[in-house]
Amino acid sequence: MAVVIPMTARRLTLSSLLPRMRDRSPALAAGLAGGVLAAGLGLGSFAALVMVLWISSPYPDSGPSGALHVAAALWLLAHGAELVRVDTLAGAPAPVGVTPLLLLALPVWLVRRAARDAVDAGDADGGAEGWAPVSARTVWAGVVVGYLAVGSGAALYAAAGGALRTSWAWAAVCVPAVAVLAAGAGVWSACGHPRGPVDGVLLALPSGLRRPFPGTAEHARLAAAARAAAAGAVVLVGGGALLVASSSVWHAGAAREAFLQLTEGWSGRFAVLLLCVALVPNAAVWGAAYALGPGYLLGAGHVVAPLSSDPAPLLPPFPLLAAVPEAGAGTPWNWAASGVPLVAGVAVGVFAARAATAGAATGRTVSDGTAGAAGPGGSGRTAGTGRAGRTTAPAGEAGEVWSRGRTVGVVVLAGVGCAVLMGALSGLAGGPLGASVLARFGPVWWQVGGAVLLWVVGVGTPVGVAVRGWRCRKRGAAGCARGLGKEKAGKAGARRGVAASAGVAEEELYDFLVPRDAAPGAPPHPFAEAADPFAPIEPPSYVAPRDPFAPIEPPSYVAPRDPFAPIEPPSYVAPRDPFAPLEPVSFLEPGEAPTPPGRATPPRPLTPPQPPVPPAPLAPRELRTPGEPLADVGPVEPVGPAWHGDSAREARWAALREAGEERDEGTDPRR
């Protein structure tokens, strides 16, 4: 069939564009509506709270427009954008960059929920009305565009007037970042957590950083490292919150004085209480930074750490700041805070060890990397459903036990992830509260990240290896040895270009050295340490290596022989004189005596041969004269079988009667 290549550019007609717009319009409309609704709900929540406080305040500084400006500014601050306070005693603008992390949770949750609901609602409507499945990218773009449209209007309104104004540079970076990440998380959750976006992020990394993540097994280890990193971060933040709560109880009197000193009215105290609640996550991150060692800053040059704390005389009275330890050298009570990162490292090691040995004990299923067929726009979902399909991982991947090196690698990867997460939280939890001395408040993100990496890797590595060994001994050494053999076989197969995901896992082909169902506590198999099946075969220890080009030597039990020497007869044949007379050979049977010469039977006389008798002459045949006609013999009658003739039948009956009479005569009792 001929292939025709168009030489001119074809213009898209209106009839071809309408189906595309019709297919994309439901997803785009749902995304736009979800983004606008999420931004509107966030702004409305802040506006309602600020208006309640403004109405209940006995001495409001401005009218409703000022309260709405403050609400818009707080909404932008919740995204991480830095604000500028223009009404100061010195007259110079002062930045306000400490973001309450509890306020940040509200826009993140709203955007994520909007994106997820848009994907689910589009799938349900498409299945009912016959539309094509919605595109995840289209929904994501619609949510981001709708959210940023409302956010741009809020930024313009906040910058127009009021005591708190937004910084355009921070607003242009922070608000889109929150919208993009939260909407992406919502779409990814609605699509069933496919592995495609993760692979896209890995492809963006340099080639050296992509080497640890080539296949399905490496993605499973990456997921285990992510879970361990999350566990470590939760332990650190929880431990920091426990430290803050303990210090607040210890300094309860100072916290009460600060609370009563700030304001006298109930509306003001309620506002201070709400601000303290919104800053509790920040205080927990500060406590984690204190336990890790670097501590946090209370202004430029004022570091609070377990070893020593600098005095900060310019601190305003605030209930949470009353929990700051006293200035001076640290005490054993301050040093005891180091137990928080110690527990975090133990948690990371335990999670890594459980992931290293859990597959062989439970045969769990692992989420497939390519869940579902990619729909229009790369949604990666099965048509007609809002969730991606999940498949069962091969038994070889789900049932192997990781080696010590793999376990240590997972701990290191978890330490890096935990360090990145805690560094980001530290950067968000701090910021400036003014100029000069108040230009920096909170922990330094890179110091916190480095301390987390050292603590987690230093503590988690021995804990992970020890817990892995204990779990292996508890379940039986055979299972762990089998896992090591599988991992070695998998490495050798990968070096030879064998696909790891083809049919039955290749390591299952060499799992014949150790019984699979080994009883817990059973002694290890003598061949439990499986060798590389592709390694060259080495000779046994009792066989000396031989040079392939050396001459072949005869065995030690064969004496060397001269090739020109006469051949000697075997030792079991007696030599014989070639000129000796031969002995007579006897043909008698054993035990038979020879016949005496006088009693020999005379031989029979020979009969002369008879002369041959000539044969009788043959009679001459009558010859027919040529031309003589043949005699007419008449028709030939068919001859019937002799058995069925009358004469034959009479003869048979006569024979039978005669035989019967003879039998009767022979059996007559009178005779």
pLDDT at 261: 86
Under a CB-based contact definition with an 8 Å cutoff, are residues 112 and 441 in contact?
Answer: no
Tell me the residue length of the chain. 671
**Beta-ladder partners of 309:** 304, 328
CA-only gyration radius of the chain, Å = 52
pLDDT at 609: 67
pLDDT per residue as tens digits for the range 237-284: 999 999 999 999 998 999 999 888 888 888 888 999 999 999 999 999
pLDDT per residue as tens digits for the range 383-431: 334 444 443 343 334 457 888 999 999 999 999 999 999 999 999 999 9
State pTM to two decimals.
0.64
pLDDT at 48: 95
Residue type for position 554 = P
Neighbours of 446 (CB within 10 A): 13
* No. of helices (H) and no. of strands (E), the chain: 18, 8
pLDDT band at 94, cuts 50/70/90? confident
Q: Edge-to-edge strand order for the sheet containing 303-304?
A: 328-329, 308-309, 303-304, 296-298, 441-442
C-alpha distances (whole Å) from 161 to each of 65, 83, 324, 465, 494 are 9, 13, 36, 60, 64
C-alpha distances (whole Å) from 560 to each of 367, 556, 557 are 72, 9, 10
Under a CB-based contact definition with an 8 Å cutoff, are residues 179 and 143 in contact?
Answer: yes
Q: Pairing between strand 164-166 and 94-96? A: unpaired
Indicate whether 233 pLDDT > 90.
yes
> Pick the residue with more confidence: 474 or 670?
474
Mean local confidence (pLDDT), 650-654: 84
In the chain, what is the straight-line distance between the N-terminal and C-terminal CA atoms, in Å? 114
What is the rounded CA–CA span in Å between residue 173 and residue 156?
A: 15
Mean local confidence (pLDDT), 470-476: 82
pLDDT per residue as tens digits for the range 12-51: 444 444 444 445 567 788 899 999 999 999 999 999 999 9
Under a CB-based contact definition with an 8 Å cutoff, are residues 428 and 80 in contact?
Answer: yes
Indicate whether 201 pLDDT > 60.
yes
Output the CA angle 241-245-250, nearest 5 degrees: 145
Residue 643, burial from CB neighbour count under 10 angstroms (0-12, 13-18, 19+)? exposed
Q: Edge-to-edge strand order for the sheet containing 83-85?
A: 94-96, 83-85, 164-166
pLDDT per residue as tens digits for the range 113-153: 999 998 887 665 544 443 344 678 899 999 999 999 999 99
pLDDT per residue as tens digits for the range 341-356: 999 999 999 999 999 9
Task: Compute the mean pLDDT over every residue in the chain, rounded to the nearest whole number.
Answer: 75
**Beta-ladder partners of 166:** 83
**Beta-ladder partners of 403:** none
What is the rounded CA–CA span in Å between residue 80 and residue 78?
A: 5
pLDDT at 595: 57
What is the rounded CA–CA span in Å between residue 163 and residue 183?
A: 32
Q: Where are the domains of the chain?
A: 21-196
Mean local confidence (pLDDT), 449-475: 93
To which residue do tokens 């060259």 refer? 536
Which positions ≥6 away from 392 have C-beta within 8 Å? Answer: 365, 366, 398
> Pick the residue with more confidence: 542 or 170?
170
